[in-house]
């Protein structure tokens, strides 16, 4: 991704920079989902007597919020370019 951003800046290519940003957000979403599944697999303890089973739902919710927050910005940029 870093190489793609660098190449996009050097070539003045908005398409390359946008693709690198898209790849970054995809990787971030996958990392968030993996972390949610990692927490879900943890066993219950004294504090969390039901375990961490809602971590996957929470990570999906945060991922959806991230998409909702980033959507208006990308639409605005696409309209005025």
Q: What is the pLDDT of residues 59-79, one digit of tens each?
A: 999 999 988 887 776 666 666
**Positive/negative CA dihedral, 2, 36, 66, 78:** positive
The pTM of the full predicted model, rounded to 2 decimals, is 0.71
Helix then strand then coil, in percent of the chain rounded to 5, is 75, 0, 25
pLDDT in tens, 9-59: 899 888 888 888 889 888 999 999 999 999 999 888 888 888 888 898 999
Q: What pLDDT sits at residue 78?
A: 62
Provide the pLDDT for residue 32. 93
Q: What is the pLDDT of residue 79?
A: 65
pLDDT at 61: 94
Instruction: Report the pLDDT value the prediction gives residue 69, as an integer from 0 to 100.
Output: 85
């Amino acid at each position: 991704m870093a190489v793609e951003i660098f190449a996009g800046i050097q070539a003045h290519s908005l398409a390359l920079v946008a693709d690198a940003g898209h790849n970054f957000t995809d990787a971030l979403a996958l990392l968030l989902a993996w972390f949610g599944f990692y927490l879900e697999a943890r066993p219950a303890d004294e504090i969390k007597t039901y375990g961490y089973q809602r971590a996957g739902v929470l990570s999906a919710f945060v991922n959806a919020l991230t998409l909702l927050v980033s959507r208006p910005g990308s639409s605005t940029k696409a309209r005025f370019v």
